[in-house]
Structures are given as structure tokens and as C-alpha cells.
Chains A and B, each alone.
Chain A
Amino acid sequence: MSLEPHHGGWVIVLSFLVSFMLAIMPLPAWATVWRPDWIALVLTYWCIAVPQRVGVASGWFVGLIHDVLSDTLLGQHALTLCIIAFISVKLHRRIRLFPRWQQVMGVFGLITASQLLNAGISSIVGNPLLEWSFIYPAITSCGLWPWVFIILRDMRRTYQVY
């Protein structure tokens, strides 16, 4: 564990709060299946940038809040988000060095996998999978990744989060 003092934790909390709000923001009916997985994007960024602070445990807590907000089974998003956090922390050194397009591919893979796991869990509970719609959030999320990355990186540098 790290012994150096932490700095700028409120930026992390604020970014998660905004992602929660974006995740439950009302959208027109046709757009709801295309809603990017904002929470996973923000979590992935912080796991890569400050893995000593945001990791599996934070991912799990964030997922639990996500579950309560979207009225899914308690633990459903907690499971997928803590796995996303695990992979991002495990590979954070490599992902940092990736060119941007490779990061985009990585994010696409991560979010597709988590959506698939989510769909699997809901079909066990009795809501069967709706065709290919699970892949739409992955497409919009990886398209937004470069912007999320730049915004959060600038915020991290400005407010010196480490």
C-alpha cells in the first residue's frame, strides 16, 4: 500500500457523482439502449490513473450504488464493476502506454464483457436477453472514451489528484 499522503479525493468523488447522474438521466425511449456506461468509463480512468487509490473495493462500492439507483439485483453491477476495476488495475501500466485507438479497443472489450455478464445475470433472474442491444452501450462508450480521458486527465492535473 502507498504511504504518501493522498490529495484531491473530492475530484474523484465528484466525477463519480456526475457519472451516476448521467446514468439515470431520462433519455428518449429509442436512446436508452444506446446510453454509454458512464460509471464504467470513469472507474476505468481512475483505475488506470491512480491505481493505488481507486481499485477493486471502490469499484464494488460504486457498483452497489449503481444497483440501488437502477433497481437491479443488489450485487449485479457491483460484480461487473469490480471485475472491470481488477482488469484495469492489473494492466494499468500497459494501458497507459497504449496509443489512444488501442485504449478505445480495450474499453470496447471491457464494456462488452461487462454488458454480457449483466445480461447473463438478468436472464438467470428471468429477463431474457434482447438481441444485440447489449453491444450498443459498448459502442457509444468506446466512442466517448478519448473525451472522457482528456477531461478527467486535465482535471487530475489541475487539481493534482494522486
Chain B
Amino acid sequence: MKSLVIEGQPLTIRVIIFVVASIALMVADHRLGYLKTVRTHLLGLVYPIQYLVDLPVKTGQWFSKRVNSHIQLLEENARLHEENLRLQVMLQKFEDLKSENKRLRELLGSSVKVGERIEMAEVLAIDLDTAKRKILINKGQNDNVFMNQPVMDAMGVMGQITQVGVFSSVVMLITDPEHELPVQVVRTGLRTVAKGMGTVNRLSLLYLSHSGLNTGIKVGDLIVTSGFGQKFPKGYPVGTVIEVEPDIGKPYAQVQALPRAALEHNREVLLVWKKSKK
């Protein structure tokens, strides 16, 4: 595999070449954008390894499903049936509201984005870098996954796509220290930014002044996406405020929220495509 030119040189020169190459690669990867396609193909190349690691976990789950007792399955079926009926009824109401909302929007003359296409993806049981909060899912370029695509679960927002591979992609969770999400308090309409803290299941709400605490936010408030920044659709639940601490020593109040989505123990996630309507 090694070429004669490289092989012929003394070890020290060779290591210097490779060290310089790695530094150049790191700078290119961090500062410039054009390594994205390279990463896409490399991620596709290593997919077999990731698939093999995930396989025992998947087999275990399949097996435990097999040995589930018949009665248990019947109970679950009945419960799901009931839930489905309830959701159907709620959906009827929702359809009505949606068309009413659309009519009102048209009356106001504002353009509106309606409807989102949703597809399911599976989380692969793979550990990525420990300092970050990221997960790997089994949908990639082949399934039209794109950069910065929103990822949800049944309860709320989970994160967004940060690396697209051919068959898989990396999701940055909203708790990652690099992730910032524009949000809004439902009760008062107060807008803020939810930033990850790098710890499991904690969000920090930024730029809230001490005076804003009096009227804008309190423990137990629901926060939803505000739709600012154009990446996330508006109005999806993000989390609940659990701690409001006015700290006079700091310019902003310390407010923390608990994410709604089951970020750390999901096996299935939902990918959202915006369907824009002219």
C-alpha cells in the first residue's frame, strides 16, 4: 500500500510530513467547509463497523420481543388501540384548527409554511466522543437527510443533524455545549436561547435579565421552539423550566430547563422535512 517514495525516506521526515498533514486537515475541517463531502463518504465507509457494533444490541431487543408473553402483547395491543382512538379524535380537532388557522393567515395576507414530512430513524448503539452529546442514526444521504435538519421524538425536540454520511448521520443533541436553540416561553411569549451545557438532561436559558424574571418566566413554564433562525419549525416543545435563580453578581439570571425529549434512552427518532408552500 505504501509508495516507494514515502518508504524510502528516513522515519523522522516521514513523521513530520504526516504531522503537518494532520494539522492541515484539522484546520481545513474546522475553518473551511469543503471537507463535508469527504466526511460523508468516510462515514459511509465505516458504516459496516458501526453496524456490527450495533448488531448484538438489536438482536437482544429482537429476542426479548420474541419471548414476550402472549398476554403481555395482547395488553399492549389493547392499550395502543385505545391510545390510537384517542389520538384520532384529537387529530380531527387539529385538522379543523389547521384549516381555520390557514384561512386566517390568508386573510392576514401573511405567507405560511404548512405541514412537515416526518420519517422515523433508528439510533445506533455507538459511543461517540465523550465530551460532546451526539448520537448516530441509521439514515443518511440516501434518505435525503440534510445538514441542520431538525430531529425530534414523540415528546419534543432532540437536536439537529451535524454530519451526513451515505447511510448514517450524526445528530447533535440540544444538550451539547455547542448547541444553541432559539426558544420561546409559551405562557408569556418571552424569547430566549436554550444552550446545551454538556451534561445529561440540562439546558441553560441565556440572556434573561433579572427584571425579566418578574413577568416573563417561572418554574414549570413550557418552552417551545420560536422558529427564529429558520432551522427549526415553530412551536415544537423543547422543555420545562426547573430552576430560576436571580444572581445579582452576574449580568444575566441563571435559568435552567429540563428537556422534554428522552434524549439519552431513545431507540427511535423522527426526522422532519419542511414542506414549504408558495
Using a CB–CB distance below 8 Å, which chain A residues touch chain B?
A: 1, 17, 20-21, 24-27, 29, 32-33, 35, 55-57, 59-60, 63-65, 68-76, 78-79, 82-83, 86, 89-90, 121-122, 125-127, 130
Contacts and interface: CB of A to CB of B under 8 A. Distances in A.
A24 B56 CA distance: 13
B155 interface: no
Contacts of B14: 55-57
Chain A facing B: main interface SS: helix
Contacts of A69: 46, 49-50
Interface in B86-142: 125-132, 134, 136
A21 B273 CA distance: 33
Scoring A27, A68, A121, A127 by chain B CB atoms within 10 A of each residue's CB, the highest score goes to A68
A26 B126 contact: yes
A70 B129 contact: yes
Contacts of A90: 11
B15 A68 contact: no
B18 A122 contact: no
Chain B facing A: main interface SS: helix
Interface residues of B, number: 47
Contacts of A86: 11, 15
B131 A127 contact: yes
Contacts of B154: none
A37 to B, nearest CB: 12
Nearest to A68: B42
Given A25-B53, A25-B127, A33-B130, A74 B25 contact: yes
A32 B130 CA distance: 7
A57 B8 CA distance: 13
Interface of B: 2, 4, 6-8, 11, 14-15, 18-19, 21-26, 28-30, 35, 38-39, 42-43, 45-46, 49-50, 52-53, 57, 125-132, 134, 136, 163, 170, 177-178, 198, 200
Contacts of A63: 22
Contacts of B21: 60, 75, 78
A92 to B, nearest CB: 11
A82 B19 contact: yes
Contact of B129 (A64, A72, A83): A72
B241 to A, nearest CB: 25
Contacts of A121: 26
Contacts of B170: 71
Nearest to B136: A71
A24 B11 contact: no
A71 B163 contact: yes
Nearest to B35: A74
Given A24-B126, A75-B23, A83 B29 contact: no
Nearest to B48: A17
Given A72-B129, A75-B29, A21 B49 contact: yes
A42 B134 CA distance: 26
A26 B127 contact: yes
